[in-house]
Amino acid sequence: MLAPALLVAALPWQASGTGPATPSPEPALAQWGQWRGPLATGEAPLADPPLTWSESENVRWKTLLPGPGHASPIVWGERVYVTCAVPFGEPVGPFVDDAPGTHDSVPVTQAHRFLAVALERASGKELWQVELAGAVPHEGGHVTGSYASASPATDGTVVIVSFGSRGLFALDPAGTVLWRRELGRMQTKHAHGEGSTPLLAGERVFVQWDHEGESWLAAFDKKSGAELWKVARDEETSWASPIAVEHAGATQIVASGTKRIRAYDPGTGKVLWECGGLSSNVVCSPVAGGGLLFAGSSYESQALLAIALEGAAGDLTGTEAVRWVRRRATPYVPSLLLYRDSLYFLHHYQGFLTRVEAASGAEPERAFRLEGLDDVYASPVAAAGRIYVTDRSGVTAVLSAGKLALLARNALDDSFSASAALAGRELFLRGTRALYCLAAP
């Protein structure tokens, strides 16, 4: 079985003897503290969420949120964290600023309050709500988009929240703002908005800032917010999020992009290796496991690459380090799911789920047609031998892992673009209006 890139113990480059202790592996694996879960693969290894639900079945609680957002919820201990962008005040537009060649973009019409919210996990009761910024956005975003698209991250001692052009923030679990960093003003391609989620790994926060201006990757100190390093990236806009990968006792920070997939030294920002081959408009976040790094895209062209980490150095494009390449039916908006020995992904954002053998790229059977599902923006997740896929209309298909077979089809009365969070016996789904906690008795 492929071993996941497990990042729950102290990292080799992490400073020791200062600050809170790094959470032990057992509690970290039981949480959903970051985008794509404890392994950054979409898997919750200790969870056993429900198989079926509806508005009247297996809903432990349903809490109306103060505003919309596409950010996925995160779960740690007895708390659930989520972010929202709430319009307020008099109309200010319509206008679309700094957006040449826009299409499918909405105009800016109102100022917004940018909120971090904590809920009680057992009841859904709001514990606190903190306004981190208030501004008139300079871009309207995609017609299906959100001003709160980056998911928060936590290790139980600090909660990291990014609103991109509105700032990067750290809060303690009680909602006290510890620090704030101004990151600048992002100008996205076609004014389609911002979405990359910050990575919290060890004592550092990593931010991928790919846009139509000067792109970069930077590391910030978790406790103070001090910038530790920043390196330029020769990239256009992407919406993918960086991941931390541990291989051979060392950690790499991997970020996908149109021109290159790059791995960075987390201590210095030095590029360790790079590989071309993706398309433009990269949205899908990479995953890693079993000594391989997987990255995909699907916009003007389709690509999915498996890159061997052993001995990776320099430019790997076209070398034997690229173990396999796929040029059809690759993911666009939803990110990859690495579960057990297989890689799962949606075709573009349509209702076809493909499974390939992670080590070889071989496709054991044809793509599974998810009847009644379409426009899938949420990334697939997995636990207890099951795959969960949610579309924007509120329908979730539950399938058996491995040889795909439909186990259940569940519907809720909301629209869903955020990816699910799995922890314990619960599945958390964030809709446009409400956050659901789904759990069997």
CATH code assigned at 56: 2.130.10.10
Q: State residue 6's pLDDT score.
A: 40
d(CA 236, CA 257): 8
Q: State residue 27's pLDDT score.
A: 83
**4 in a domain, yes or no?**
no
d(CA 223, CA 214): 27
Q: Please state the rounded mean pLDDT for residues 42-54.
A: 98
Q: State residue 100's pLDDT score.
A: 53
How many domains would you assign to the chain?
1
Judge whether 81 and 154 are in contact, CB under 8 Å. yes
**13 in a domain, yes or no?**
no
CA nearest to 79, candidates 178, 6, 148, 158 = 158
CA nearest to 147, candidates 175, 118, 113 = 113
d(CA 318, CA 315): 9
Provide the pairing of β-strand 314-315 with 271-275.
parallel
**73 in a domain, yes or no?**
yes
Q: What are phi and psi of 423, to 5 degrees?
A: -155, 135
Q: State residue 95's pLDDT score.
A: 65
Instruction: Please tell me the pTM assigned to this model.
Output: 0.93
Q: Where residue 104 falls among pLDDT bands split at 50, 70, 90? A: confident
**323 in a domain, yes or no?**
yes
Tell me which residue range forms the domain holding 336: 31-439
**435 in a domain, yes or no?**
yes
Structure tokens, 430: 């964030």
**pLDDT greater than 60 at residue 412:** yes
More confident residue, 164 or 5: 164
Contacts of 63 (CB under 8 A, 6+ apart): 119, 124, 125, 126, 434, 435
User: Can the peptide bond before residue 94 be classed as cis, meaning omega within 30 degrees of 0?
Assistant: yes
d(CA 76, CA 350): 32
**9 in a domain, yes or no?**
no
**15 in a domain, yes or no?**
no
Residue 172 burial (CB count, 10 A): 11
**143 in a domain, yes or no?**
yes
Provide the mean pLDDT of the chain. Answer: 92
